[in-house]
Each structure stands twice: as C-alpha cells, then as structure tokens.
Structure 1
Amino acid sequence: MTSLISANGVDLPTRRLGQTGLRLPVLGFGTAPVGLSGYQDPGFDQKQSERNSLSALDAAIDYGIKFFDTAPAYANKIPTDGWSTDRASERMLGQALSNHGSKRDQLFIATKNMFDRMDAEGIRKSLDHSLRLLQTDYVDLLQIHGIIAKPFRADNWRNFITDEVLETFLQLRQEGKVRYIGVSGYREGALSALIETGVFQVVMPQFNYFYRGAEYELVKLAQQYGVAVIPMRPLTGGLMQGMLDEFFPGQKPSANPFKVAMKYILQFDCVSTIPVGMRTAREVEENVRLIQELEQEIGLGR
C-alpha cells in the first residue's frame, strides 16, 4: 500500500470550530485507547503497546491531523479504589509533542480535569500535572470531564458544575493556560442547558451511529449558539465491531461500517472534528483514507 504522507502531510477537509475563528481537520485523534489498558487484550505487551501508540501519534501528526483529545483518566487501570494516576495517554502524547516540538502551535491539544476533583485546587493541580506530562505550557481546550451521574439534568447541573468550577475554568483561560473551555458528558438535556449558558466553546456528548440522543435538540442548540460539537466515541467505541463479530462472524460487510459511522456523524454541520481512537500507524492511515473517500463522495468541509 502506497503511503499517503508527503512533506506537508495530506489535504484533510477542515471545519470551523464553533465561533472560535479556528478551523480543524475533520479527522481528529482520540487517545483513550493509547492510555486505557482495558482497550487491549488482558495479556497484552505494555511496552509493545506503547511503541505502537507512539508510532500512531507520530503518523497522525505527519498526516496533518491537528486535534488530539486526551484526559488524566485515560490511564492504565490497576486495582484501586479510585482512578489510576498513571496518565499514560497524556504522557505518551507529551512524548509525541516533544518529537514534533516545532509543530506545537499548529496542533490543537485538548485535555480534561481529573473528574473526582471538582474543586478549584483539584482542577488547578490536575491541569498543572497535565501540562508537565504534555510538555507544554498551555492546552488549547480544557474540558469538564464526563459527568455520568444519573440525576445530571437540565434542572440540576449546578449541583455538579458549581460556580467555583466555572470560575476556575474561566480564570485558567484568563491566565493563558487554557485557550478554550468545554464540557463532556452523557446527558444531552444537561449539556443542552450548558450550551445555553454561553460559557463553553465546545461540548462533547456521546454521539454516534448508535447513540443518537444529541440529534434531537443538542445539535440545533449548538448551531444556534455557535458551540462546536466534538462527539465522544464517534465510531461507536467498539460497538460496531462487536455487533459485526456477533451477528456476522467471519463475514465481510458490503460497506465499510466505520465509513458508514463517519458519514452519519459528519452530516451535522456543528460537528467540527471527530476524535477517532487509533492504536497503530496503520489505523491512522486507514482512517485518513476513509475521510478522503468521503470528501470525494459527499464533501465534508464546512
């Protein structure tokens, strides 16, 4: 297979990032598989996995992918009462950024707070740790990480995202440690209410071919308020492959299911970029090809 890489990467279609004035390639890189050992087979080789992940990150930067989404919680899980502090995803992304130091200002790095510390001190300490691991003095996007509480609704979101949390995020932006702020989560009603506050430039709902709740209200509000939507698990987070393995074992589908998933999520104009989880350089190249095919077939730039 001939490589797509040229001296200047490849021409990936771009979209507006809400009302920030920025444009990003529609294909982004989701680093959860880089850091979460749970994405791997139980007996996987950690060192080889990290080598593969670093190759994937390097390839993505060479191909011209700009958006990289990470989080402190994207870490190797170990037996503990809380979340691991390994932060493998941030650490490896930082190594990749160091390898491409001259390109830092051309990239868009997004991370999140350690979500078991929703207080000013905890948020600041989490970000400072992230900056050290990422080997940078700022992140382009800091997001409140995935509120998963069942009562997280439009009428009670302030019980979880307090004035202290909002003020801390805004202060970090004023200090230059953060360029933009966002929020991720699993309750579309609450996220829609957060869009209406006008505080956030980006919102990250779980949104894909199987999880379509954001389609009914959130995307319309995001379009209205000029808020960028960056979908969580845009290619279904493994559900698509699991369905194929269960119902069509050993069979090759007539259409590439991941291309179908890309086509679905990119039909929405407010979707700025899709952070696809990738573990190898080969997966990066395959996803770049799918995006190029869709660009030729339906046009993706907005």
Structure 2
Amino acid sequence: RSDVFVATKVSGDVENVRGSVERSLKLLRTDHVDLVQIHGNSYTENQANEILAPGGILEQLESLKTEGLTRHVGFTSEDNNAAVFRFITSGRFDVMQISYNLLHQHPAEWTRPFGSLFEARDAGVGTVTMRTLTSGIFQKWVSTVRPDDEYDYTSSLLQFVLSNPLVNVALVGMRTVAEVEQNVKTANDLSGRVDHEELHRKYPES
C-alpha cells in the first residue's frame, strides 16, 4: 500500500462527505487514502464561503484527516478565479488540482509573474495539473489546419507541463500499456525539458 498514492474526490454535498469516503475505502479495500479532493469546476463566491465555513465540506475533510482516513485534503478547479486564491491562502488545503497546459497557461503567467501555481508554491500547497494534454483540443486544431501532419504531439505537450517547476504532478489519462510506457519514457527524458521563464521572455536581452 505504501508504494501507491491513492487519491479520490467528493462532491459538494456536505451530508455525504463521510459516507462517500467510507464507500471508497471499502471498494479500494484499504483503511485510508492519501488524498481526498473537493471536486469542483468553477467556484462562485458563495460556494467558496460554504466550503470554508464552520461545518462546511472542508471542516468535514479535516475531521477525516484527523481520524487518519486521509493523509491530505485538496480541491480541484477548472478555473483560476478568486475562489481558488481564497482556498490557497486559507492555509487549510494541502493540494490544488488545476487545469493547466500549453493552451491554458493562466495558472502560470511567467511574464508578470502571476497565477495560482505561483500562489500555491508560495503557500506550500502541492500542485497537480489536469487537462495536461489539452484534452485533445490541440491535436484537433492541428489536424484541422494541417491535415497531413502525422506527428504525435503527446510527448511535447507532456514535456511542456513537466518543464514547469511549479508543477508537482501532471495527470495524464492512459488506456493502454503502450501509452503508460510512452509517458514514463517521456517523463524520464530530461532532455525534453524547457526553461519556462526563458521561453516566455518577450524580448531577447541585448
């Protein structure tokens, strides 16, 4: 069990938080998970208030953490809005899972610098990226504008995210053994890394 990091999610229903985690533990045949995340898309101010309020979802997760049913608590978000920054600066979350990739770089604006990935680093919050390979959008665009382009951009897209020192974990959906092997090979290929700060420099130094 110690060789595997197990993460799960709970919905925004306060009443079902404990039951959801306990069902997951039963199905996974384990006495604890390593991370439980609040599953979210784009949080409104009211939703953030409810999550952070006494008796809210976060307090429920903190109780589960105290009991040893989970080692860490986190949240997921497709957005990079004010609610995300409230969660980060609350000091109560261990991990943030955020949408970040070549097409969606708002969490890490290197030219400013600004973004939730910078804030998470400064707050000591672990970072996980979702949509790492753009959910196929980049590939669809390439096939539309360059239908004869047969290059597999998967490794390049993964290398872009892995190159960001603000990213701790890059999630990638995999359905076959071949995909797993290729992604492991890419992750181990440090020659494919780029310097994000240099990459985003607008003008060359004279």
What range is the shorter-chain TM-score in? 0.7 to 0.9
Contact residue 201 and residue 227 of structure 1 kept, 8 A: yes
Tell me, in whole angstroms, the C-alpha distance in 2 between the residues paired with 1:160 and 1:193. Answer: 11
Is 1:259 the counterpart of 2:155? The answer is yes
TM-score by length of 1: 0.58
What is the CA-CA distance between 1:211 and the residue it aligns to? 1.2
Structure 1 residue 241 displacement after superposition:
2.2
The secondary structure found in structure 2 opposite 1:148 is: coil
- 1:110 is matched with 7
**Identity, % of aligned positions:** 30
Q: Compute the displacement of 1:156 (Å).
A: 6.2
1:143 aligns with 2:37: yes
Matched residue type, 1:186: E
Query: Structure 1 residues 273, 142: CA separation in 2 closer, same or farther (over 3 Å shift)?
Result: same
**Is 1:240 aligned to residue 138 of structure 2?**
yes
1:274 maps to a residue whose letter is A
Q: Partner residue of 1:126?
A: 20
Residue 77 (structure 1) aligns with = none
* 1:176 and 2:68 correspond: yes
Check whether the contact 1:173–1:179 (CA below 8 A) recurs between aligned residues.
yes
Structure 2 match to 1:286: 182
Deviation at 1:183, TM superposition (A): 0.4
Deviations 1:193-217 (A, max 9, x none): 2100000110011111111121132
Give the C-alpha shift of residue 160 in structure 1. 5.0
| Per-residue deviation, 1:299 | 8.6
* Corresponding residue number in structure 1 for 2:199: none
Rate the CA distance shift 1:128–1:232 in 2: closer, same or farther, 3 A: same
Aligned residue identity for 1:286: Q
Distance (Å, rounded) in 1 between the aligned partners of 2:66 and 2:51: 23
Cα distance in 1 for partners of 2:35, 2:180 equals: 23
Q: Amino acid of the residue matched to residue 265 of structure 1?
A: V
Give the Cα–Cα distance (whole angstroms) in 2 for the partners of residues 197 and 232 of structure 1: 22
Q: Does 1:167 align with 2:62?
A: no
Q: Does 1:206 align with 2:99?
A: yes
Distance 1:162 1:246 in 2: 47
Instruction: State the alpha-carbon separation in 2 of the partners of residues 160 and 226 from structure 1.
Output: 20
CA contact (8 A) 2:87 2:93 kept: yes
- Measured after TM superposition, the shift of residue 244 of structure 1 is 2.5
Alpha-carbon distance in 2 for matches of 1:128, 1:268: 35
Is 1:185 paired with 2:80? Answer: no
Q: Tell me how far apart the structure 2 counterparts of residues 259 and 175 of structure 1 sit (CA, whole Å).
A: 40
After superposition, the C-alpha distances for 1:173-205 in whole angstroms (9 at most, x for unaligned) are: 011100000000122122122100000110011
* 2:122 paired with 1:228: no
The two structures have a TM-score, normalised by structure 2, of: 0.83
Secondary structure class of the residue paired with 1:229: strand
Structure 2: tracts of 5 or more residues without a match: 109-113, 196-206
Return the alpha-carbon distance in structure 1 between the equivalents of residues 102 and 137 of structure 2.
10
Task: Verify the 8 A CA contact 2:85 2:116 in the aligned structure 1.
Answer: yes
Q: Which runs of 5+ in 1 are unaligned?
A: 1-103
Q: Which residue of 2 aligns with 1:53?
A: none
Distance in 2, Cα, partners of 1:245 & 1:162: 47
Contact preservation (8 Å) 1:188, 1:213: yes
Report the aligned-residue RMSD. 2.1
8 Å contact 1:205–1:232 — kept in the other structure? yes
